[in-house]
Chain A
Amino acid sequence: MAQKTLVEEQVLIQPLQAKDRILDEATREGLERAEEVGTTNVWERFETMQPQCGFGKLGLCCKNCNLGPCRIDPFGMGAQRGVCGATAATIVARNLARKTAAGAACHSDHGRHMVHTMLMMAEGEAEDYHIGDPAKLRTVAEEYGVELDGRDDRAIARDLAEAMLAEFGQQHGELNFVKRAPEGQQKTWRQLGISPRGIDLELVEILHRTHIGVDNEYHSLLSSAMRAALSDGWGGSMIATEVSDILFGMPSPVRAVINLGVLREDQVNVVVHGHVPLLSEMVLAAAQSPDMIGLAKEKGATGINVVGMCCTANELLMRQGIPVAGSFIQQELAIATGAVDAMIVDVQCIMPSLPVVAECFHTKVISTDPRGHFEGAEHIELDESRALEIAKEIIRRGIEAYGERNPDRVRIPDERMDLIAGFTTENIFHHLGGRFRGSYRPLNDGIIAGRIRGVAGVVGCDNPKNMSGSAHVEMVKELIKHDVAVLQTGCSALACARAGLMQPEATFEYAGQGLQEICETVGIPPVLHLGSCVDNSRILTAATEMVKEGGVGNDISELPAAGAAPEWMSEKAIAIGWYFVASGVFTVFGTPLNVLGSPPVTRYLTDELEGIVGGKWAFESDPVKAAHLMIDHINKKREALHLRPMMYGEE
């Protein structure tokens, strides 16, 4: 009988593994090396974790109180309410709100750290920091109502820092940058009661609301999630971006190199990894000082190679053009090359496994932020009042470790790719309109005339659950092929840079004809790197500039624009997704938010929200299909604006 054969001849097969979906050559080589030395890695751990919990995927488990833990049966036979009486909708919405708050807290605490250091600098307590962009300081200070006339930069910086810090504890009113948003968004937020009042307040309130027996109604919970996300996008993140520009200078287009091949056999390799640029900028400065270079040469190295990882890479790439070793997914592989002498980490997206991988080599993992400690790492804490001194101490550790490096165990993948980064809301003006007539007019005209279909923000993490970075590449290629100009940040930007999409040459290879004409005229790649994940705030302000320039919509929700995070994994990505959606942007996530366990909540997020805030969520794991959801949305917006048909037709 057939059944007999089945049981008797049962041979367990190996399904396709996460690592089989890696397209990047350096990542593949790096992983092979990690397997060869037998160390742990994210792909292996991902496979071990399979299958992942279905209740968790659907958002149906609640651990908020000790009546539970509870879970709702999505097939309707078991529990339909938690012990407290919470429905699937309540549980799903509470969980999503908490995740949003956690994500927003990361960006906003990053922003707070930046402002606090600016205050120390202004008061003479952090002498290693300076005002890198006095013009931007004055522009932002003016927005905060700081008196400028006849005052020196430090006095202005002090008042600006105090005003910004006050917004973290602000209890009523509105955050200052809310008034940067288009009128339409401001009006919507006020009508819905979701205009952010204070940065910390919105996050604390979510913790209160999601405690047992407080806010049990999903519309209300999700409104509070939007408010918290807006306090991030138009608050904490935006503050982080602006203060980073003020302290370290506004980025300008810069040519650089990316991928594991930027590590060097002949130099001390120092990888700066994490998010906040406060220490990494100092590490770079220290590495360039003659005494440190001298020390490295004494040990036989030809110099010190400071390279970036994750969003720290983006911060330093944008402003200093330093090489990028890799994105989130590649962090363990960098160590597995055997060539990293020190990996310096601060906060967010740093795998707890790094010291374990480092044990196989001579690599020093050094944690530096009081918020981020790692078992097995050395902790040398950043003290802003003597930042350069600390940075030198760290570099010294790297140089010492270099002395212990075993050249026989070094395997650096020979993969490097050129890219251009350094675009900002402000400097896109100049590229589009020329230095003396900076304006978004050419962009808007290009859209109106049908050369450019629209604009897409493709951002977020990379994730073995998807394609370990390649989903970004597939999506962005499809978008630019259809004349959609793409703005990128975070690890998504790094994935596309690795694939060569941020070189001007990519225009001719991948972009549609209309987009090609614009890129060629202006001299920019079809895919623009706007920075780290807090710099998603630049996408919000760029969209606002498009609205202000006129002709492509009266608020952000009317723009022919869309957003995506094809491989999201962090809670920060949820906060980002939310502030895009709440600001009127159609936003596609590669794997669903953990909400499908409640059909009403799913319907609200993916459909009903559009009529309320103008933006909505969509979930699509196929990156090309997801790109077409975005393209369809952009087409719909073009039609609503009665824009001309696309100049070169619909291929």
Chain B
Amino acid sequence: MERTIYVEPERCLGCSSCELACAVAHSQSGELFQAIRENLLSEPRLQVEVVGDQPLPLHCLHCEDAPCVQVCPTEAMAKTGPGEPVICDRERCVGCSLCVLACPYGVLRLDRGGKKVLKCDLCIGRLGQGLEPACAEACPSSAIQFLPLEEIDQREGDGWRKEFLIVYRGQAALISQAGG
């Protein structure tokens, strides 16, 4: 059963719990109280942005035909198969930022040190332990959920949300362009 991250923007309260949980999940210790004291502080792989009055979490959408993969000169960015996450191999990444420019959703950015790209990995480490991605687990209002693809297909019938998503994608593209 394939699952992926599904966002219901109208449920997002903008609390940033997902960002915090993401940073903790990608820290060395994986534990909040220790993570905030590590020498190399962790960073979230997603951002909560505001579109109009509506906050919403921006994730990597793990595109099937991913522009970031296409433009990556070192093959650091790779998709291992259909329906699989797009993963950035930090060893190979040289921080050229081509993928940051290429991403239509503006969700990629360089890390704190400015040398490597920072990217959602769908918490593959946690999935291996039978856990949900940290952002989905942390979201107190279920704006972020980790759902089977079939269920997501059914939910996309919701007209209001579709409209919202179009706006969100347009806005995200604008953010991306402004950032570029």
Chain A residues with CB under 8 Å of B87's CB are: 3
Encode contact with A along B1-17: 1 for CB under 8 Å, 0 otherwise: 11100000000000111
* A11 CB, nearest partner CB in chain B, Å: 6
Chain B residues with CB under 8 Å of A51's CB are: 17, 21, 137-138
The stretch from B39-47, B50-58, B157-165 touching chain A is B39-47
CA distance A593 to B84 in the complex (A): 41
Chain B residues with CB under 8 Å of A6's CB are: 124, 127-128
B32 near A58 with CB under 8 A, answer yes
Nearest to B32 among chain A residues (CB) is A54
* A432 CB, nearest partner CB in chain B, Å: 41
Q: Which of A3, A10, A57 contacts B32 (CB 8 A)?
A: A57
A3 near B84 with CB under 8 A, answer yes
* B41 CB, nearest partner CB in chain A, Å: 5
Encode contact with B along A42-80: 1 for CB under 8 Å, 0 otherwise: 000000000101110110000000000001011111100
* B53 CB, nearest partner CB in chain A, Å: 16
A7 near B84 with CB under 8 A, answer yes
B124 near A10 with CB under 8 A, answer no
Chain A residues with CB under 8 Å of B16's CB are: 55, 71, 73, 78
Question: Chain B: interface secondary structure?
Answer: loop
Chain A residues with CB under 8 Å of B137's CB are: 51
Q: Is B81 an interface residue (CB 8 A)?
A: yes
Known: A53-B140, A71-B16, A77-B112. A4 touches B127 (CB 8 A): no
Q: A7-B3, A75-B35, A77-B44 are in contact. List 10 more A-B contacts (CB 8 A).
A: A6-B127, A7-B85, A12-B130, A51-B137, A54-B17, A54-B138, A55-B17, A75-B43, A76-B41, A78-B16
Nearest to B127 among chain A residues (CB) is A6
B24 near A54 with CB under 8 A, answer yes
B131 near A12 with CB under 8 A, answer yes
Q: Is B167 an interface residue (CB 8 A)?
A: no
CA distance A75 to B44 in the complex (A): 9
Encode contact with A along B26-46: 1 for CB under 8 Å, 0 otherwise: 000000110111000111100
Q: Is B80 an interface residue (CB 8 A)?
A: yes
Q: Is A523 an interface residue (CB 8 A)?
A: no
Q: Is B61 an interface residue (CB 8 A)?
A: no
Q: Is B122 an interface residue (CB 8 A)?
A: yes
Encode contact with B along A596-609: 1 for CB under 8 Å, 0 otherwise: 11010000000000
Most buried by B among A11, A51, A54: A54
Q: Which of B2, B42, B131 contacts A75 (CB 8 A)?
A: B42
Q: Is B108 an interface residue (CB 8 A)?
A: no
A3 near B85 with CB under 8 A, answer yes
Known: A51-B21, A596-B36. A7 touches B42 (CB 8 A): no
Encode contact with A along B134-171: 1 for CB under 8 Å, 0 otherwise: 00011010000000000000000000000000000000
Chain B residues with CB under 8 Å of A71's CB are: 16
A3 near B124 with CB under 8 A, answer yes
Q: Is A13 an interface residue (CB 8 A)?
A: yes
Chain A residues with CB under 8 Å of B81's CB are: 1, 4
CA distance A77 to B44 in the complex (A): 9
Known: A7-B83, A7-B85, A74-B20. A58 touches B130 (CB 8 A): no
Chain B residues with CB under 8 Å of A592's CB are: 33
B122 near A7 with CB under 8 A, answer yes
CA distance A12 to B131 in the complex (A): 6
Q: List 21 A-B contacts (CB under 8 A).
A: A1-B81, A3-B80, A3-B85, A3-B87, A4-B81, A6-B128, A7-B84, A7-B85, A7-B127, A10-B3, A10-B130, A12-B132, A13-B130, A51-B17, A53-B15, A54-B20, A54-B21, A58-B32, A77-B112, A596-B36, A599-B37
Encode contact with B along A1-36: 1 for CB under 8 Å, 0 otherwise: 101101110111100000000000000000000000
Chain A residues with CB under 8 Å of B20's CB are: 54-55, 73-75
CA distance A597 to B16 in the complex (A): 15
CA distance A77 to B140 in the complex (A): 22
Q: Which of B21, B24, B127 contacts A10 (CB 8 A)?
A: B127
CA distance A477 to B44 in the complex (A): 43
B2 near A7 with CB under 8 A, answer yes
B124 near A8 with CB under 8 A, answer no
Chain B residues with CB under 8 Å of A7's CB are: 2-3, 83-85, 122, 124, 127
* A72 CB, nearest partner CB in chain B, Å: 10
CA distance A599 to B43 in the complex (A): 18
* A239 CB, nearest partner CB in chain B, Å: 37
* A604 CB, nearest partner CB in chain B, Å: 15
CA distance A74 to B27 in the complex (A): 12
Chain A residues with CB under 8 Å of B42's CB are: 75
Nearest to A88 among chain B residues (CB) is B36
Chain A residues with CB under 8 Å of B129's CB are: 13
Chain B residues with CB under 8 Å of A74's CB are: 20, 36
CA distance A288 to B173 in the complex (A): 77
Nearest to A13 among chain B residues (CB) is B130
* A536 CB, nearest partner CB in chain B, Å: 27
Most buried by A among B19, B20, B24, B138: B20
* B151 CB, nearest partner CB in chain A, Å: 13
Closest 8 A/B residue pairs (Cβ): A13-B130, A74-B36, A54-B20, A6-B127, A75-B23, A1-B80, A75-B41, A3-B80
Nearest to B121 among chain A residues (CB) is A3
CA distance A75 to B16 in the complex (A): 12
CA distance A4 to B81 in the complex (A): 7
Chain B residues with CB under 8 Å of A3's CB are: 80, 84-85, 87, 124
Most buried by B among A8, A55, A75: A75
* B148 CB, nearest partner CB in chain A, Å: 9
Chain A residues with CB under 8 Å of B19's CB are: 73, 78
Nearest to A3 among chain B residues (CB) is B80
* B127 CB, nearest partner CB in chain A, Å: 5
* B133 CB, nearest partner CB in chain A, Å: 10
Chain B residues with CB under 8 Å of A599's CB are: 37
Known: A51-B137, A53-B17, A77-B43. A11 touches B33 (CB 8 A): no
Chain A residues with CB under 8 Å of B128's CB are: 6
Chain A residues with CB under 8 Å of B2's CB are: 7-8
Q: Please provide the chain B residues from 45 to 102 with a CB less than 8 Å away from any CB of chain A in the complex.
A: 80-81, 83-85, 87
CA distance A11 to B131 in the complex (A): 8
CA distance A355 to B87 in the complex (A): 51
* B72 CB, nearest partner CB in chain A, Å: 17
Nearest to B87 among chain A residues (CB) is A3
Q: Please provide the chain A residues from 422 to 463 with a CB less than 8 Å away from any CB of chain B in the complex.
A: none
Nearest to B23 among chain A residues (CB) is A75
Known: A3-B85, A54-B20, A58-B36. A10 touches B43 (CB 8 A): no
Most buried by B among A58, A71, A73, A596: A73
B130 near A4 with CB under 8 A, answer no
